Structure formats: structure tokens, C-alpha cells
Amino acid sequence: MYRGTDDPWGFTSAPYELAKYDATVAALGAANYSRCFEPACSIGALTQRLATRAATVVACDVSPTAIERARARLAGVDSRVELVTATIPEWWPSGTFDLIVLSELGYYWDLAGWRDVVQRCRRSLRDESEVIAVHWLGSSSEHILDGATVHGELSDQLGPSDLHLEHSVDAASVGFVLDRWTGLRHG
């Protein structure tokens, strides 16, 4: 997908993507974070915004081309951002985080696989950590789970979210769901 264009999904220009990033950053519960993890960062559009709020961001993506584009985008803050070409959960960063952002990735696993990812997140939390998840509410033949199921499993594993938002860019489009869990403890 990345070979034909720099931004195949319009991460830097599509109204849906921009609204999702705006809502994600607006939902952050703290002014600043020590260490953030963003799996499936793609070309780093959201990573760039997270880097303004976190002292360190660890971000990964399966695509080497996407990571290469993210490096170029984040050149001004690259000392605070660690970009890794990797697939989770096979690769998982060491250490703990006070913010984990799960954006548009949960529906690529079956339920057991997604539960494993959520449990790995839980074990990577510091005391009083925050998890933000945002997923598209539509359906796709590429997705194993839908966004509502992904968020339902997160709530089953993490408890009720303290912020829940469903958003559409306009009345004709399928929107996204965003949930935030704060005050989570290492577990």
C-alpha cells in the first residue's frame, strides 16, 4: 500500500483521520506523560501529536516503509521518539508506560489474540496509567473484529472507561468510537 503513495489512507488530510487525531489528543487526561506506547503507528501522523505531550514515545509498525516515512515526519523530535519495525504481540517493548494509545488496530486479531494484546498492555502499565483506544465503527473484509467488539473486550479487561465518545465527521459517514481508561495500575 505504501509503495504507490506517501499516505495511502489520507492520514494527514482525510477529515475522518484529522477528526480522530483531534479527538484522541483532546481526550488525553494528563497535560504531559513520561513514556507513551503507540503500536501500529503507520507514517507517524498521530505519533507526531503524541510527541508534543510525552517525554518519550515508543511506536512501531509492521511496514518498514511506513516507519521510514514516520522517521522523516518526526525528524525534529526524533530524540524523544523510538520507532521500531515490528509486529505486536510478537515484539513488545520493554519497560512500562503511563500512556498506551491503541488506534485502529484491534480488529486485526481474533478475540483470543486481541485479549492477549490487551493483557500485554495491562502488564506494561505504570501505576496510574492511561489507555486510549479509538477504532472505526464500520466493517471491512480486512477486519476480523469490528470496532464495537474491540472496545467491548477492552472494557471487559480494563473495566468501564471513564470517557466514551462516538463521533462521525458527517451524517453520511461511519464514525469512530473512542474510550479512555485512567488510573489503571500495573497488572
Enclosing H/E stretch for 1: none
Q: What is the pLDDT of residue 5?
A: 60
The residue among 185, 187, 103, 115 whose CA lies nearest residue 155 is: 115
Q: Using one digit for the tens of pLDDT, what is the confidence trace for 55-102?
A: 999 999 999 999 999 999 899 877 889 999 999 999 999 999 999 999
Helix axis angle for 111-123 and 147-158, nearest 10°, is 40
User: What architecture does CATH give domain 15-184?
Assistant: 3-Layer(aba) Sandwich (3.40)
Q: What is the pLDDT of residue 4?
A: 61
Range of weakest confidence among 1-5, 10-14, 84-88: 1-5
- Contact between 68 and 91 (Cβ < 8 Å): no
Q: What is the pLDDT of residue 13?
A: 56
Q: What is the pLDDT of residue 79?
A: 80
Q: Using one digit for the tens of pLDDT, what is the confidence trace for 46-58?
A: 999 999 999 999 9
Which amino acid makes up residue 3?
R
- Contact between 132 and 97 (Cβ < 8 Å): no
In the block, residue with C-alpha cell 474491540: 150
Q: What is the pLDDT of residue 14?
A: 77
In the block, residue with C-alpha cell 479487561: 157
- With bands split at pLDDT 50, 70 and 90, how would you rate the model's confidence at 8? low
